Amino acid sequence: MSIHSKVKRMTAPEIYARKGQVPLVCLTAYTAPVAEILDEHCDVLLVGDSVGMVVHGLPSTIGVTMDMMILHAQAVMRGSDKAFVVVDMPFGSYEAGPEEAFHNAARLLKETGAQAVKIESGPTVHETVAYMVQRGIPVMGHVGLRPQAVNVDGGFKAKGRTESERKKVIQEALDTDAAGAFAIVVEGVAEDLAREITVLVKAPTIGIGASAGCDGQVLVTDDMLGLFDWSPKFVRRYADMRGAISKAAEDYAKDVRDRSFPAPQETYFAK
């Protein structure tokens, strides 16, 4: 991406205005080369804290740090021109209260150039969302299955299956919406609940494991590309990159061992 690029990025108001319109397309990105490839096709690039599991091999997102998010967000901003870039606030960076959340969110945006942050909308987070929005930070919410709550939930479990849990998810979505979030990720809930939330909130909903009834969709790019042996039920694999990379490595290893690589065309000779 050139600093002199004349391409105009998507904005938070433009994302908000897509409610009920053409579905929003969102994928995760953690590196400049991947961001460059995805930029042409996506409305939103999410620098997700899923980077901890996908890139760094962590067992959950809990170990992700601010420095990790900043490093990857900087790379994604360098690689993209058009898409709206949102950065996840990692676990522990916003839960203590609005002022600390604002400080950390401001740091994320200042040091990366990204346009918005995303936080998981627990029962007290709407106050933090309102505080940040009122001070100029666009916030994307996240309700339903919340990966940062994995230790409380005892694993990655779908939400809204009981009536009390359903009411809780709806209330968190309504509170997040009222607080001024420009979009809300809805993860791991039944179709009827996702559709109900989508109708109830003014902000566009972006589903992940939440049916086609949302105002947009997001997937972890590495899941969608088939880079792992296992992926969640809600993922559609659009490629088998794991197989392609393995085959390329196998072919390379064979050529090295039988000395057919490097060949003359890949070798420098004295003049």
The reply to whether 50 sits in an annotated binding site is yes
**CA–CA separation, 166 and 197 (whole Å):** 10
**What's the distance, Cα to Cα, between the start and end of the chain in Å?**
38
User: Which residue type, as a one-letter code, is found at position 260?
Assistant: S
Sketch the domain layout of the chain as residue ranges: 12-239
Cα–Cα distance, 256 to 254 (Å, whole number): 6
| Percent of the residues in the chain that have a pLDDT greater than 90, as a whole number | 85
Instruction: Say how far apart CA 34 and CA 19 lie, in whole Å.
Output: 27
What does the alpha-carbon distance between residue 130 and residue 176 come to, in Å, rounded to a whole number? Answer: 8
Q: Average pLDDT for residues 63-75, to the nearest whole number? A: 98
Please tell me the predicted confidence (pLDDT) of residue 164: 84
User: Which of the following is catalytic: 187, 196, 250, 266?
Assistant: 187
Reported as a pLDDT band with limits 50, 70 and 90, residue 61 is: very high
pLDDT for the residue numbered 1: 47
pLDDT at 2 over 50: no
Residue 118, annotated as binding a ligand: yes
| Distance in angstroms (rounded) separating the CA atoms of residues 158 and 172 | 15
Known binding residue 251? Answer is no
Task: Enter the tokens of residue 181.
Answer: 């979030």
Architecture per CATH, domain 12-239, reads as Alpha-Beta Barrel (3.20)
pTM of the model: 0.93
Give pLDDT tens digits for 142-189: 999 876 654 545 455 566 678 888 999 999 999 999 999 999 999 999
Q: Which residue has the tokens 């088939």?
A: 226
The question of whether 187 is a catalytic residue gets the answer yes
